[in-house]
Structure 1
Amino acid sequence: MAHNLKLRKPLAFFDLETTGVNIQKDRIVEISVVKALLNGEIESKTFLVNPGVPIPLESSLIHGIYDEDVKDCPTFKNFAKTLAQFLQGCDLAGFNSNRFDVPMLVEEFLRADVEFDIKNRRLVDAQRIFHMMEPRNLAAAYKFYCGKDLENAHSAHADTVATFEVLCAQVERYAGVKIKNDKGELYEPVQNDVEALHNLTAAKIVDFANRMAYNSKGEEVINFGKHNGKRVVDVLAQEPSYYDWMMKGDFTLDTKRKLTEIKMRAAFGKK
């Protein structure tokens, strides 16, 4: 398998199977990575993971992985450093990855106390492109773009390979295709450039749980509750206890980390 993507550094496509969809409470049971290299070749790895908690039957019925399948497998913490090394220097791509897979992966690395910095990584979500251009799901995307039926759906490897093929097909299909933006102006959203694809699908993320967002001026604002829409720096200045409430509350480690970054930046007068 080869690819047609123009890359500045390796692009790692990945998919997770998990015990559930709660980023804070659920755990990874399988991860598959297909890494597109600069020379046009790919590398792939798939890991079964012991989540350390029982896998709910409703989840097992979806992805086909049961407690018995992973009881002798390493925990995420056991191979987190190995996985981080495999992903070192890579941009990241997936299907609905910016809303689920990347946040879940970041949370697992934080729990394992393994450094996994995404600040210098481009994040490409093929689902965002698909929903913008052809609103449907992965199986439909695979059928639409690749002309094939998705066999073994909800297998991490099958879904990862399908996502890889879908993005390659999207880049080729939408080369030169223009659509109107919210101002009615024509522009070409899908380009064979990971920086452009990142800006299209992931550039406006503050925290992966979406508890904060950017307003029209590019400022971080609270995205829930009584302070919804207010600038984070203003809320922290006017109600200092709000920071402690969030740090002690049922929020993801990523959200707490980002909130702390904003607080520290404000304290030292950095933009």
Structure 2
Amino acid sequence: MKLNLKKPLIVFDLETTGLDIVNDRIIQLSYIKVYPDGKEERESLFMNPEKPIPAMVSDLTGITDEMVKNAPTFKERSSYLNEKFKGCDFAGYNSNHFDIPVLAEEFFRAGIDFDFSKCRLIDAQTIFHKMERRNLAAAYKFYCGRKMEEDFEAHRADQDTEATYRVLQGELDKYNPATAEEPDRALPNDMDVLAEFSKLNDNVDFAGRIVWQDMKGKDGNVLLDSGGKPRRQEVFNFGKYKGWVVSDVLHRDPGYYSWMLASEFTADTKQVLTRIRLREFNKKSN
């Protein structure tokens, strides 16, 4: 099914030196940029991680130190990728849990403030797990009717990207509201709905250190905005201030902000906290 897009969608996959969001680095980034008119652009980029690729990762992906030693670093490609990705939504497989946080860290280290909070983040794995609960290979067979190994080489970002794109299209075909046999297993071809459906939690930052919480009045009832939706606020989800409203903590204990910036939190968490702090400062100034 052709995707119903209002702005470009980046369908992408990463291969990295490991699974540590903060310390590991991208070695391959592949994406398909799908435009609202249906035009597609594909690119697969190797990157020098500036650190050795573990043998286990090379065995899994087939990507070696030799293959990336002369490739540009992410920082060297960052301005180019920033321009390519600006104004786009993103889709991947397990991307909301891993690929998007890793990409956010890489942009931050490169000195680029790429604000993913302004993007719709669609995770084909979350859609699949909520509907069928299996891995990418099973998803490919289920939605595309073929074994993945018949069409692709496993554990290569460009191959997995193509498979993910086909799975996402297959999901929209299968759960098309016009043809779905069960109304509760229907998904409209709408990026807003798919992004909302892809969410597994109410995290404000990718690591879940700060989460959204409904605001309540003195009577204990949830406060609503002008559109009838619950008003929400950011609260800490860890440590001594767990459950506290972030803005209240920043006013009550200003040193907590400095402590978090100096501690081993992800760059994304620190960015989110800084944006909240600036927002509160501007409120006070006005």
Deviation at 1:187, TM superposition (A): 5.8
Alignment check: 8 A CA contact 1:14 1:160 kept: yes
2:116 match: secondary structure: coil
Q: Determine if the alignment matches structure 1 residue 197 to structure 2 residue 194.
A: yes
2:280 match: secondary structure: helix
Deviation at 1:178, TM superposition (A): 9.2
Distance 1:247 1:49 in 2: 28
Q: Determine if the alignment matches structure 1 residue 89 to structure 2 residue 91.
A: no
Distance 1:39 1:170 in 2: 20
TM-score normalised over the length of structure 1: 0.89
Aligned CA-pair RMSD? 2.1
Distance 1:38 1:238 in 2: 47
Amino acid at match of 1:241: G
Amino acid at match of 1:30: Q
Q: Note the 1:82-231 alignment, pairs <5 A.
A: 82-150=80-148, 151-176=152-177, 177=180, 190-202=187-199, 204-217=202-215, 218-231=232-245
Alignment check: 8 A CA contact 1:49 1:70 kept: yes
2:48 match: secondary structure: coil
For structure 1, list consecutive stretches of 5 or more residues without a partner in the other structure. Answer: 180-185
Distance 1:250 1:244 in 2: 12
Distance 1:178 1:194 in 2: 22
Tell me which moved more, 238-247 or 164-173.
238-247
Distance 2:265 2:53 in 1: 22
1:66 alignment counterpart = 64
2:259 alignment counterpart = 245
Deviation at 1:249, TM superposition (A): 0.3
Alignment check: 8 A CA contact 2:176 2:186 kept: no
Amino acid at match of 2:74: F
TM-score normalised over the length of structure 2: 0.85
Deviation at 1:64, TM superposition (A): 1.6
1:266 alignment counterpart = 280
Distance 1:123 1:89 in 2: 12
Alignment check: 8 A CA contact 2:203 2:209 kept: no
Amino acid at match of 2:189: N
2:227 alignment counterpart = none
2:24 alignment counterpart = 26
Distance 1:44 1:205 in 2: 31
Q: Residues 151-209 of structure 1: CA distance to partner in whole angstroms, max 9, x if unpaired?
A: 32210011111111111111111122598xxxxxx867622011111122249441112
Distance 1:136 1:171 in 2: 17
CA pair 225-158 structure 1, distance change in 2 beyond 3 A: same
CA pair 263-89 structure 1, distance change in 2 beyond 3 A: closer
Distance 1:126 1:229 in 2: 31
Distance 1:97 1:163 in 2: 11
Q: How many percent identity over aligned positions?
A: 47
Aligned residues: 262
Distance 2:214 2:186 in 1: 19
